[in-house]
Amino acid sequence: MISFQDVTAAAERIRGKVIRTPTLASHALSRATGADITLKLENLQAVGSFKERGAANKLALLTPEERARGVIAVSAGNHAQGVARHASLLGIDAVIVMPKFTPAGKVVRTRNWGARVVLEGETFAEALMFAQDMQAREGRTFVHPYDDVAVMAGQGTCALELLEDAGDLDMLVAPIGGGGLLAGCSVAARALRPNMELIGVQVESYDSLAAFPGPATHPNGGSTIAEGIAVIQIGTQTDEVIRKQVDKVLVVSECAIENAITLLAEGAKQVSEGAGAAALAAVLTYPELFRGKKVALPISGGNIDSRILANTLLRAMLRDGRILRLVMEIPDRPGVLADISKTIGEAGGNIIEVSHQRLFAAPSVHAAQLEVMIEARDPEHAALITKALGLSYIVRRA
């Protein structure tokens, strides 16, 4: 079992090798949620994630002989970059096995930190089997992404800094993938703030602890925006710690995580990946648990694909009425599009996209169907634009 002394020793060991990230009160998120929100900005680490804390501690503990033989890790993202960076800083040869489906950007960033990347396996499990075989053949040290005391202790240094900087807190909420972050942080929190409530968060398709404190289940898996916590089963050692230290595990939806990413970007001015926004998603999903409480949330990572981030923001705007999608039946005659554009402009709307269909969707040869996407200030403004257009045309919201 990991001890508080393991965490404090890790903090000394990695001091100066990772960033002591800011701990900030967020007034915007507090107003939006009804809780008193404090953020720990792990998205500002050099590799954009808390993962390098555990990697730095694990690699610093290697013997000279182990360093000479090199290390190997398997990861599709943040752990890969953390191991690659700190192996490079220590002059250790590193091999990172990544599944073939790993996005090109993550592969490039890992290589840029100096590691040799091997793309192998159609799934993470296949990549893991290949890495374990390679480790046995070459005698490298395997750096596990979470189920390792040294890695957990390194991740726990996040909570040490948070509790030193934030003052009194009622709750700490952290995402659960393999469980390393929550396990390490819970050990530190229990030692320093015994009465603090500790809450873990999983995404619904990877909710192995949905019955917590009951037995773990086998989740459905599948695609998720929170790929950083897309782990079918948490680690054996992390599970032991979490069951001993943590009070509650909450499950959130994909939509809640998308909304949390958007709120972090617009309200807190922070870029977060899906897993990094999971803790805020829990506060948004279960407001009655957090209202009026002092709640700490680590933004555990900020490595989100630019296209995914853009689409997430647009989807959130569509859901909350700031993007209006209208389908209109219009007469097919000159000047109609100009009139519609003028009406939208006079109502204060901003046209984002227009699709004009004459041949296939229109009910008559003398008519056309127009689909228009409009940016509005808020739902009330969207309703005003719709009403103005409805005075002259048949309009329905899509």
The alpha carbon torsion through 87, 91, 97, 101 (nearest 10 deg) reads: 70
Q: Which of 186, 208, 272, 300 is catalytic?
A: 300
Q: Which of 51, 58, 106, 294 is catalytic?
A: 51
Long-range contacts, stretch 216-225, CB < 8 angstroms, 24+ apart? 224/254, 224/274, 225/254, 225/257, 225/258, 225/261, 225/274, 225/308, 225/312
DSSP classification of residue 203: E
Q: How far is CA 160 from CA 20, 155, 274, in A?
A: 10, 10, 24
Give the integer Cα–Cα distance in Å for 234 and 232. 7
Annotated active-site residue 51? The verdict is yes
Q: How far is CA 271 from CA 35, 154, 213, 285, 345, in A?
A: 21, 23, 32, 20, 32
In DSSP notation, 104-118 reads HHHHHHHHHTTPEEE
DSSP classification of residue 206: G
- Shortest CA distance to 56 belongs to which of 102, 9, 3? 9
Annotated active-site residue 17? The verdict is no
Give the integer Cα–Cα distance in Å for 397 and 318. 11
SS3 for 296-328 is EEEECECCCCHHHHHHHHHHHHHHCCCEEEEEE
- Shortest CA distance to 145 belongs to which of 223, 244, 231, 246? 231
CB of 199 within 8 A of CB of 173? yes
Cβ within 8 Å of residue 65, ≥6 positions away:
none
Distance between first and last Cα of the chain: 54
| Residues facing 249 on adjacent strands | 200
Residues annotated as part of the active site: 51, 300
